[in-house]
A and B are shown apart, each in its own frame.
Chain A
Amino acid sequence: AQTVTQSQPEMSVQEAETVTLSCTYDTSESDYYLFWYKQPPSRQMILVIRQEAYKQQNATENRFSVNFQKAAKSFSLKISDSQLGDAAMYFCAYRSPYSGGGADGLTFGKGTHLIIQP
């Protein structure tokens, strides 16, 4: 079974600065997918960024980028130019591509609560 670990229960950053959220995972699979989801107080889970394990290039979505280190099984999220609207719980998630049913659930880390200081 896969596990996802987020070692930072809470992080705080000044508005307009950069913050990095950590995520490590454990798996015996060679191919897999990794995601960062954001859950603001409104509770709606929103996909922030995704990464395929066999792609070495780090994914980027506007102010969000990842540092994917496959050998180290590390998948950190960097948020540049932090904005007040970035305040939320951030979950790192893993999904296996090897599902007999063609659909598989996500395995989530425990989450990091991100606070943006104005």
Chain B
Amino acid sequence: DTEVTQTPKHLVMGMTNKKSLKCEQHMGHRAMYWYKQKAKKPPELMFVYSYEKLSINESVPSRFSPECPNSSLLNLHLHALQPEDSALYLCASSSYGTGVYNEQFFGPGTRLTVL
């Protein structure tokens, strides 16, 4: 299984709502990533988890709260978002280590709209 799954595919939320994005992989990867991609822009790294511990936080606002409850699952909790947070949120996973063959496998993304 070389698939990264993300749910939901689409999410519409108000600025006062609390919601969560879910990402799952069963490839035995121990590194997982969240990226944010605005329309017609490249993905931008938000967070990296290594062995279920947060290893990189790219100065993301606290209204985004990541969680890695186990080695297969990655969540992104959302609270009090702004309309400018509307974007495609991509999850990726890879083997731990920075060799060239530790490629990142991406999920299909969650399209988030904040009203």
Contact = CB atoms under 8 A, between A and B. Distances in A.
A64 B67 CA distance: 37
Given A42-B108, A50-B103, A105 B56 contact: yes
A107 B98 CA distance: 14
Q: Taking each of A96, A102, A103, which has the highest tally of chain B beta carbons within 10 Å of its own beta carbon?
A: A103
Contacts, number: 79
Contacts of B44: 108
A37 B42 CA distance: 11
B-side interface size class: 20 to 34
30 contacts: A33-B100, A42-B108, A43-B108, A44-B107, A44-B109, A45-B90, A47-B104, A47-B105, A50-B100, A50-B101, A91-B42, A95-B98, A96-B98, A97-B98, A102-B55, A102-B96, A102-B97, A102-B98, A103-B33, A103-B56, A103-B94, A104-B48, A104-B56, A104-B98, A105-B33, A105-B48, A106-B104, A108-B42, A109-B42, A110-B42
